[in-house]
Chain A
Amino acid sequence: MVMDKIVIENLSLQYSDGTESLRNINMSVKANTITVLFGPAGGGKSTLLRCLNRLNDLTEVKTVAGQILLDGVNILDPKTDTIALRRRMGMVFARPVVLPMSIRQNLTYGLELAGEKRKSRLDEAVERSLILAALWDEVKDRLDDPAIALSGGQQQRLCLARVLALQPEVILLDEPTSGLDPISTGKVEAALQELKKNYTVILVPHSIQQAGRTADYAAFFLQGELVEYNDGKTLFTAPKDKRTEDYITGRFG
């Protein structure tokens, strides 16, 4: 039986500048699946991702209502240890941002902050995460080079590996392939299929095609509302809502 890893209940969010970004969202995310959040820009997908690891704490948010349960515990509770939460909810951003240090240091950064000092453990994490992100063969001989020297596609896989090094439970990806060529995109997508065996993956895809290719479950967001949520196959072949159908058939968006 597939468990509900994350349950979102009546989640609403408003930014300080008055824009409402999420309106009464209810959905649950199953463990070990790829759940895709898609829809036109400004629909609230990224905002939802940033709620999940409390990265919205850094932005000017006016009100948040509702709750998000991770394994049954509400992470929107002010008492939540956000540092620990972010280690459980890794995030890959749209633009690959490598930290200004070596490839190896990028990967060990989070672990060292978490208090890991043993070199053997760190080395092991570097190799494991690079293999998972399909980057090991390309960089294993130059781990101490500056990470900025990598190509865009390699940098994005390094960002994925950096998240994996922390062994999170959930991986959040915000248009991770938007700046990548088709070959690099294919590598990232293949890595995701491998990853869902051990992780729960939530992906904001950069195209409907990618949503269709990768989704086990898919959620269509429009102007802060969750219009439709179903398993990927049903949603893309037999959408129930007219707006979903219009969007995936390319009538708007």
Chain B
Amino acid sequence: MKRIFPFNRHLTERFGFGFLTLLAVLTVTPIVGVIIYILIQGAPAISWEFLSGFPREGMRAGGILPAIVGTLYLTIGTAIFSVPLGVAAAIYLSEYASETGLTRLIRIAIINLAGIPSVVYGLFGLGLFVLFLQFGTSILAASLTLSIMTLPVIISTAEESLRAVPLAFRTVSISLGATRWQTIRRIVLKEALPGILTGVILGLERAAGETAPILFTGAAFFLPRLPHSPFDATMALPYHLFVISTQVPEMPIHIQYGTALVLLVFVLGMNLIATVIRSRARAKRQW
């Protein structure tokens, strides 16, 4: 065998590590770049008036409160529909359903649902909720549309978290005289909860940032007031950003970046919460 000097080995290894580190840093650069750029451009626009005021002068001045509140409403609305349904579906798939043609079909449907472009959801929502069910262009219709889009994310992450709970816990629980449901409620769900929450937040975060699904179903170009009921249309941050960036001539640039910054903080804030939940649960986990 050819003799390799330790010196060479070390050199090769250091070169390899260096190369990998460089690649890792490269992947982070765009993200950091976007955040820093938006922060620098948008920060001057942030003021109390900007966050709590209504748009004025054809949205060229004033605040973005209706858009902030609207996005909050849409996120909550999406959670109300998608979380119970998604978690229930995940429990069914992971705990009750045996591998049959039906469950395979459900799984394929979920995977494909996740791959559908969001604008298609928008059109579907327009057809089903706005027109056929006559909810009109409303928070309700938009929330339902976003829910359908969010469901695959919630179902698959929740199912994964449920499956990660060791099978032995279930066997032991049942051998101690528990029913399946008692086992799920008292052990499996409890242990899977942090993972489920993380998935829920990541799904909702995506819903909060989407424009296309709400475009035809609930987003308003401009509203001089806050929505009163789920049947009202609403302004929303991502759509507002689209509007002021493309539809309004002579739009002050700092308001655009200020809006982008608020949306970014909203979404990254949710991300941060998910990360904290996950790491705290991991530290506490007893298996």
Once the chains bind, are B286 and A166 in contact (CB under 8 Å)?
no
Once the chains bind, are B174 and A58 in contact (CB under 8 Å)?
yes
Asked, given contacts A113-B182, A146-B286, A148-B287, whether A99 binds B169 with beta carbons under 8 Å apart, the answer is yes
Residues of chain B with a CB closer than 8 A to A148's CB: 286-287
Once the chains bind, are B286 and A83 in contact (CB under 8 Å)?
no
Once the chains bind, are B175 and A55 in contact (CB under 8 Å)?
yes
Residues of chain A with a CB closer than 8 A to B173's CB: 99, 109
Q: Mark each residue of chain B from 174 to 204: 1 if its CB lies under 8 Å from any CB of chain A, else 0.
A: 1111110010001100110000000000000
Q: Which of A80-129 contact B (CB under 8 A)?
A: 83-84, 86-87, 90-91, 93, 95, 97, 99-101, 109-110, 113-114
Residues of chain B with a CB closer than 8 A to A87's CB: 176-177
Residues of chain B with a CB closer than 8 A to A159's CB: 172
Interface size class of A (residues with CB under 8 A): 20 to 34
Asked, given contacts A93-B171, A97-B168, A113-B182, whether A166 binds B176 with beta carbons under 8 Å apart, the answer is yes
A97, A99, A100, A110: the one within 8 Å of B177 (CB):
A110
Could you tell me the distance between the alpha carbons of A84 and B177 in the complex, rounded to whole angstroms?
Answer: 7
A162 interface hit (Cβ, 8 Å): yes
Shortest distance from the beta carbon of B188 to any chain A beta carbon, whole Å? 10
Once the chains bind, are B168 and A86 in contact (CB under 8 Å)?
no
Could you tell me the distance between the alpha carbons of A110 and B186 in the complex, rounded to whole angstroms?
Answer: 11
A58, A110, A146: the one within 8 Å of B176 (CB):
A110
Once the chains bind, are A93 and B168 in contact (CB under 8 Å)?
yes
Once the chains bind, are B176 and A100 in contact (CB under 8 Å)?
no
Using CB atoms, name the residue of chain A closest to B98: A60
Once the chains bind, are A99 and B171 in contact (CB under 8 Å)?
no
Asked, given contacts A100-B287, A146-B286, whether A114 binds B174 with beta carbons under 8 Å apart, the answer is no
Once the chains bind, are A162 and B176 in contact (CB under 8 Å)?
yes
Residues of chain B with a CB closer than 8 A to A100's CB: 169, 187, 190-191, 285-287
Once the chains bind, are A109 and B176 in contact (CB under 8 Å)?
yes
Residues of chain B with a CB closer than 8 A to A109's CB: 173, 176, 178, 186
In the A-B complex, the 3 residue pairs with the closest CB atoms: A110-B176, A100-B286, A97-B168
Cβ contacts A to B, 20 pairs, < 8 Å: A55-B175, A58-B171, A83-B177, A84-B177, A86-B175, A86-B176, A87-B177, A90-B176, A93-B168, A93-B171, A93-B175, A100-B190, A100-B286, A100-B287, A101-B286, A109-B176, A110-B176, A147-B286, A159-B172, A163-B176
